[in-house]
Amino acid sequence: MIANTEGASSLTDWIAVSLTLLGGAAALVQYYWNSRREQARAAAEEMQNLISDPAVKTALAALDWNVCYIPFRDDTGTDRLVEFTEQDFHLAMRKPGTKRSSVQRYKLSEDRAANEKKIAGDDKDAGFSALDHHIRSIFNDFLARLERMEGLIRERVVSKAEFKRYFEYYLELLGGERDKERKALQRKRQVLIDYIRDYEFNGVIDLMKMYGMPI
């Protein structure tokens, strides 16, 4: 009798193919979980970088508090903390060419740079002080950070819910959903929104839209 090897061969091939497919599926599952772990690690690093960034901390304090103290290196090269008020915020974040004396609730007696004659340019009333430039640089870094977070959320590296869990207070602050009775905050918020639009920080605008708070 001649043995029927065709059926045995087919069965062997089927088993080999099945094992190969199962091995591939297992590899895909492992890849999926490795990717998820890598994504979670990247998200955690990005969130940690955001909340520990000195520029972010300083910008949020300058926006939220009526008076705060911010780190500043003066013209002698000395690092110190300087008082930062609502007027300082408006002076720093105003549009170029806008007179210092025309900002909201301006008081010459509280304009330290003008009184100390530390403003560059021929038109002192339109110039920016070293502190003004420092604050603008801080907010530029802060807004660039938010734009990066918008991109990471859009690419699903950071989850929308996770970012909100860490940043909800400030999202609502910027979005006008919190502390509406605080007049100084609302004045600063509108100036910052104008700054965001003027300098086309569109990622920040898109980030706020994600959370239903268009600015």
pLDDT the model gives residue 10: 64
Pick out the chain residues at pLDDT < 50: 1-2, 19, 28-29, 31-33
Q: What is the pLDDT of residues 85-108, one digit of tens each?
A: 999 999 999 999 999 999 999 999
Separation of alpha carbons 51 and 167, rounded Å: 9
pLDDT the model gives residue 41: 79
